[in-house]
Amino acid sequence: MTMKLQIAHANKLPSPTWFRLGINGTEIGETVPGIKPYGGKCLSKELPAGVEVSFDPFPAPEVSTGIGDEARDFAEDHRSCGATVRVPDGLKAEKPVFLGYRIDETNPAVVDVNTVVAGEGSEVTVVMSYTSPRDFAGFHAGLTKLYAGRNAVIRLVQVQLLGDGCVGWDDVGAVCAEGGEAGVIQAELGGRSAFAGVKAKLEGRASRLSLDSIYFGDRKRSIDINYVAQHIGRKTKSEIHASGALLDESRKTFRGTIDFLTGAKRAVGHESEYTLLFSPKVVNRSAPLILCAEEDVEGQHAASSGKVERNLLFYLMTRGLSELDAKKLLIEAQFRPVTDRIPDGALRDAVLDYVKERLGSIESVS
Amino acid sequence: MNASRKKTAVADIDRSVYDIRDRVDASYRVEEGLTPKIVNEIAVAKNDPEWMRLFRLKSLQVYNRLPMPGWGPPLDGLNMGEIVTYIRPNTQMRANWSEVPDDIKNTFERLGIPEAERKSLAGVGAQYDSEVVYHNVREEVRRQGVIYTDMESAIRDPEYGPMVKRHFMKLVPPEDHKFVALHGAVWSGGSFVYVPPGVQVEIPLQSYFRLNAPGAGQFEHTLIIVGDGASVHFIEGCSAPKYNVANLHAGCVELYVGKNARLRYSTIENWSKNMYNLNTKRALVEEGGTVEWVSGSFGSHTSYLYPMSILNGEGARMEFTGITFAGKGQELDTGAKVVHAAPHTYSNINTKSISKDGGWCTYRSSVVIPAGSHGCKSSVSCESLMLDDRSRSDTIPVMDIRNDDVDVGHEAKIGRISDDAIFYLMSRGISEEDARAMIVTGFAEPIAKELPVEYAVEMNNLIKLEMEGAIG
């Protein structure tokens, strides 16, 4: 049994621009496998001491997310699995919580709703992975809500390694209290059509968002991203950095917004996006926004895209690499600063193997 | 207050010279509103050729069909039912200032137009409400074969009329958006410039647009054709006195830049703060050609202004340099658009904005590089200065790149005057007041130096700096 999925407004740009550019948002319209309760365990490793995990829906306060209300409500309404991670005040979890979701014949459609609540002064790392067989045509909708209490730190690592037939999204909403931090790593590497969104409300004084993202497009893969850092409190800080590589006929749309609200005095927001392009048929679209209603702030964004620098390529080729191998090496290098921060050797290796396998199938890049 | 976080006071633009109103002395005006009857009346009053009358009516149909823009500043205060779209002043077009009626002439004298013409311009056009009241070009420029005249004369000219018809609203068709469709229906006045191939016009031409009547619209059309290998600098100025009813400016500028030709188009826009400035400007640049936009936006209640360049031939270039200053009650949405429609084309956009006293600046841009346009380079830089927390400044750039052989960069900064910069300058023996003045002046300097001297002086007068002080 299948169902028709229709999200009319996803990844909406917080302030719209010319409609004809088609970048103000996107639709998600797919026929997806029927959703049923997840069969199997999603908690893949031993829990860190003191951290509580439950698998029932958690009545957390509503949170805005990067992909938007429609996608969030869809996930809430069709939840097939998910975990709630609660960290007591003051507890600094010594090891990560691992949640692994497998999309396959048993679970062709996975809608996971996850919540992380970090008490005052606590720290926790949650690592989530989404995998599937290489050519499997499945569906994944992930909603993750982060609540960082006073001086709490939540590190979220999301790795999406879905097969070529999959459609899916990773949608994150974060709320940070005074001194709280949401540190998010998103690796959007697989799937036929992938959507990613993060929205962080930096409500408390000196709260922070650090967001590092990598994406990889090849064949006819489509990647659509929307990141929003909303600075509400004083001295809040956001760092949004995305980088990726596009090959073949892949398409990517990146929207990144730093939004300084009135009262966010001394807030600082930085945003960057770097894209390497390897095919004359790629589509690379970017909209890096700064919205500013507060005078005493510092906001910066930078974006660049183009081919691999010739000098760099030449240097690598003088060391004996073929042009193709040199380019593959540079793509891998583009991802390394982020993959190196995945706090689990096995998952890190899986990511690198996944990228290498995909690169291995490439016979030429322009 | 902590000395290191004092704020720089930047005075409101001194508008006294622009705000002097003349008595409205129209020889003809249409009723308020926008109907086929009114559009027909304008066509008859202007003695349009039949093709133009039909074009106006078709444009009106497009206007009625198209929706209001749903992405920019609000246009709620603009009621087309209350706008008078055509007002003919009580004079004919003259080529000698002494023949222009005194009140109109005095207005342009106060704005410094005749003096600038004597000192540093190759030709001047002056429009008052809906019609051009003065047009003249220096004899030596005329001898070069340069045509600089009002649009109505150009359309009726047996030699240049067919050229105008071939180009008129072909680059910016009425279907482009609602307010350019409005322009197509009710346009009046503006300038036509033709520079023959290979001709270099050494000193600038200038058109000045003055809207005097309350509740009126100005819809001038500027068409410039620069032949292969030719060059010209065109300056556009505009102003209006302030009224407590909405005025509307929906002009249209079409620029055709031939192979290896160069066109610099400079604008100082200083409309009154009851003006909705919904202007459309576009350039088509052929192989090896260059268009340079220099744009200062200071006036208007609401602006939508994004000069667009279509780089249509290999090696074509565009440079955009702009500054926007939004004060109390102003929402100025400005920026630039470029389409790299040919390989090896280059664009460079550099903008600054200052928001104060509740003003709202938005920088909006698009850089589009289609598939097949290989070897293109584009660089965009925008900087915004916020002078208080009642104001707002947004940057909304978009890049749409559809091939890999490109080099595209974008950077933007937003913030207040840097304490570190003040501290550094003070450590070099400069007073805090002077340091602040230096920083704000330096912020606007890259734009000022691109303007003709008189306009740079005007801009500095417009942004009158009062250091040390009062805000916050």
Q: For residue A150, tell me if it sits in a domain.
A: yes
Instruction: Decide if pLDDT at B17 tops 80.
Output: no
Pairing relationship of beta strands B308-311 and B221-226 according to DSSP bridges? unpaired
B71 → closest Cβ in A17, A304, A307: A17
Q: CB distance B404–A277 less than 8 Å?
A: yes
> Distance of alpha carbon A150 from its chain centroid, rounded?
24
In chain A, residues with a C-beta closer than 8 Å to the C-beta of B384 are: 290, 292
Taking only residues 90 to 109 of chain B, the set having a beta carbon closer than 8 angstroms to any beta carbon of chain A reads none
Chain A CB within 8 Å of residue B343 CB: no
Determine the distance in angstroms separating the CA of B399 from the nearest CA of chain A, rounded to an integer. 5
Share of chain A above pLDDT 90, in %: 85
In chain B, residues with a C-beta closer than 8 Å to the C-beta of A301 are: 395, 410-412
Q: CB distance A280–B404 less than 8 Å?
A: yes
In chain A, residues with a C-beta closer than 8 Å to the C-beta of B364 are: 17-18
Instruction: Give the whole-angstrom CA distance, residue A333 versus residue A330.
Output: 5
Determine the distance in angstroms separating the CA of A216 from the nearest CA of chain B, rounded to an integer. 15
Q: For residue A312, tell me if it sits in a domain.
A: no
Q: How many domains does chain A have?
A: 1
Confidence category of residue B70, pLDDT binned at 50, 70, 90: very high
Give the residue-averaged pLDDT of A57-73. Answer: 92
Instruction: Decide if pLDDT at A256 tops 90.
Output: yes
In chain A, residues with a C-beta closer than 8 Å to the C-beta of B407 are: 304, 306-307
Chain B CB within 8 Å of residue A366 CB: yes
Task: Report the complex ipTM.
Answer: 0.94
Pairing relationship of beta strands B26-29 and B87-89 according to DSSP bridges? antiparallel
pLDDT at residue B131, rounded to an integer: 84
Chain A CB within 8 Å of residue B393 CB: yes
Instruction: Give the whole-angstrom CA distance, residue A55 versus residue A41.
Output: 10
Determine the distance in angstroms separating the CA of A98 from the nearest CA of chain B, rounded to an integer. 37
Nearest Cα to Cα of residue A277 among A224, A223, A217:
A217
Residue bearing tokens 């207005």:
B107
Residue A219 DSSP SS3: coil
Q: For residue A219, tell me if it sits in a domain.
A: yes
Other C-beta atoms closer than 10 Å to the C-beta of B196 total 16
* Enclosing H/E stretch for A359: helix A345-360
Domain boundaries, chain B: 3-466
Average pLDDT, chain A: 94
- Interface with B, mutate which of A290, A309, A364, A365 (most B CBs under 10 A): A290
Q: CB distance A307–B406 less than 8 Å?
A: yes
> Distance of alpha carbon B180 from its chain centroid, rounded?
14
Please, which residues bridge with residue A353 across strands? none
Q: For residue A53, tell me if it sits in a domain.
A: yes
Give the residue-averaged pLDDT of A151-174. Answer: 97
Other C-beta atoms closer than 10 Å to the C-beta of B81 total 8
In chain B, residues with a C-beta closer than 8 Å to the C-beta of A297 are: 386, 414-416
B396 → closest Cβ in A17, A278, A302: A17
Q: For residue A360, tell me if it sits in a domain.
A: no
Confidence category of residue B439, pLDDT binned at 50, 70, 90: confident
Chain B CB within 8 Å of residue A134 CB: no
Instruction: Give the whole-angstrom CA distance, residue B264 versus residue B291.
Output: 6
Instruction: Give the whole-angstrom CA distance, residue A270 versus residue A249.
Output: 30
In chain B, residues with a C-beta closer than 8 Å to the C-beta of A290 are: 384, 394-395, 412, 414
Please name the amino acid found at residue B204: P
Instruction: Give the whole-angstrom CA distance, residue A279 versus residue A274.
Output: 16
In chain B, residues with a C-beta closer than 8 Å to the C-beta of A228 are: none
Other C-beta atoms closer than 10 Å to the C-beta of B2 total 6
Q: CB distance B408–A305 less than 8 Å?
A: yes
Give the residue-averaged pLDDT of A300-315. Answer: 91
Chain B CB within 8 Å of residue A301 CB: yes
Instruction: Decide if pLDDT at B141 tops 50.
Output: yes
Determine the distance in angstroms separating the CA of A116 from the nearest CA of chain B, rounded to an integer. 33
Token pair in block for residue B338: 């470029």
- Give per-residue pLDDT as tens, B26-66: 778 899 999 999 999 999 999 999 999 999 999 999 999 99
Confidence category of residue A180, pLDDT binned at 50, 70, 90: very high
Determine the distance in angstroms separating the CA of A210 from the nearest CA of chain B, rounded to an integer. 19
Give the residue-averaged pLDDT of B176-202. Answer: 97
Determine the distance in angstroms separating the CA of B107 from the nearest CA of chain A, rounded to an integer. 38
Confidence category of residue B465, pLDDT binned at 50, 70, 90: very low
- Interface with A, mutate which of B389, B390, B406, B413 (most A CBs under 10 A): B389
Q: CB distance A293–B389 less than 8 Å?
A: yes
Chain A CB within 8 Å of residue B373 CB: no
Nearest Cα to Cα of residue B385 among B301, B284, B463:
B463
Q: For residue B95, count CB atoms less than 10 angstroms from its CB and return exposed for 0-12, middle for 13-18, buried for 19 or more.
A: exposed
pLDDT at residue B3, rounded to an integer: 41
A289 → closest Cβ in B372, B395, B411: B395
A288 → closest Cβ in B391, B393, B397: B397
- Pseudo-torsion of CA B381, A298, B436, B469, nearest 10°? 130
Instruction: Give the whole-angstrom CA distance, residue B286 versus residue B261.
Output: 8
Confidence category of residue B454, pLDDT binned at 50, 70, 90: low
Give the residue-averaged pLDDT of B152-164. Answer: 94
Token pair in block for residue A24: 């103000």
Other C-beta atoms closer than 10 Å to the C-beta of A323 total 14
Host domain of residue A94 = 2-307
The lowest-confidence range among A212-221, B16-25, B191-200 is: B16-25
Instruction: Decide if pLDDT at B163 tops 60.
Output: yes
Other C-beta atoms closer than 10 Å to the C-beta of A56 total 8
Token pair in block for residue A344: 């689990």
Instruction: Decide if pLDDT at B446 tops 80.
Output: no
Average pLDDT, chain B: 88
Give the residue-averaged pLDDT of B210-214. Answer: 86
DSSP B178: H
- Give per-residue pLDDT as tens, A75-125: 999 999 999 999 999 999 999 999 999 999 999 999 999 999 999 999 999
Confidence category of residue B464, pLDDT binned at 50, 70, 90: low
Q: CB distance A286–B399 less than 8 Å?
A: yes
- Give per-residue pLDDT as tens, B330-388: 999 999 999 999 999 999 999 999 898 899 999 999 999 999 999 999 999 999 998 78
CA dist A51 → A89, A123, A125, B151 (Å): 10, 10, 11, 77
Q: Contact A182/A176 with Cβ under 8 angstroms?
A: yes
Instruction: Decide if pLDDT at A352 tops 80.
Output: yes
Q: CB distance B411–A301 less than 8 Å?
A: yes
In chain B, residues with a C-beta closer than 8 Å to the C-beta of A17 are: 71, 364, 366, 396, 398
Share of chain B above pLDDT 90, in %: 62
Instruction: Give the whole-angstrom CA distance, residue B440 versus residue B442.
Output: 5
Instruction: Give the whole-angstrom CA distance, residue A229 versus residue A182.
Output: 11
Token pair in block for residue A91: 């507890």
Q: CB distance A24–B395 less than 8 Å?
A: no
Residue bearing tokens 């909708």:
A141
Instruction: Give the whole-angstrom CA distance, residue A280 versus residue B404.
Output: 5
Greater confidence (B278 vs B439) lies with B278
Instruction: Give the whole-angstrom CA distance, residue A48 versus residue B323.
Output: 56
Instruction: Decide if pLDDT at B2 tops 60.
Output: no
Give the residue-averaged pLDDT of B218-241. Answer: 94
Greater confidence (B449 vs B375) lies with B375
Q: Contact B271/B240 with Cβ under 8 angstroms?
A: yes
A295 → closest Cβ in B388, B406, B412: B388
Please, which residues bridge with residue B362 across strands? B333, B394
Instruction: Decide if pLDDT at B263 tops 80.
Output: yes
Q: CB distance A289–B371 less than 8 Å?
A: no
In chain A, residues with a C-beta closer than 8 Å to the C-beta of B392 are: 292-293
Give the residue-averaged pLDDT of B284-313. Answer: 96
Please name the amino acid found at residue B355: S
Q: CB distance B404–A366 less than 8 Å?
A: yes
Instruction: Give the whole-angstrom CA distance, residue A23 versus residue A287.
Output: 8
In chain A, residues with a C-beta closer than 8 Å to the C-beta of B372 are: 280
Q: For residue A342, tell me if it sits in a domain.
A: no
Instruction: Give the whole-angstrom CA distance, residue A5 versus residue A2.
Output: 9
> Distance of alpha carbon B421 from its chain centroid, rounded?
33
In chain B, residues with a C-beta closer than 8 Å to the C-beta of A305 are: 399, 401, 406, 408
A:B CB pairs within 8 Å:
139
In chain B, residues with a C-beta closer than 8 Å to the C-beta of A291 are: 394
Q: CB distance B410–A303 less than 8 Å?
A: yes
Share of chain B above pLDDT 70, in %: 91
Give the residue-averaged pLDDT of A59-88. Answer: 95
Instruction: Decide if pLDDT at B68 tops 60.
Output: yes
Nearest CA in chain B to A246: B404
Instruction: Give the whole-angstrom CA distance, residue B285 versus residue B30.
Output: 38
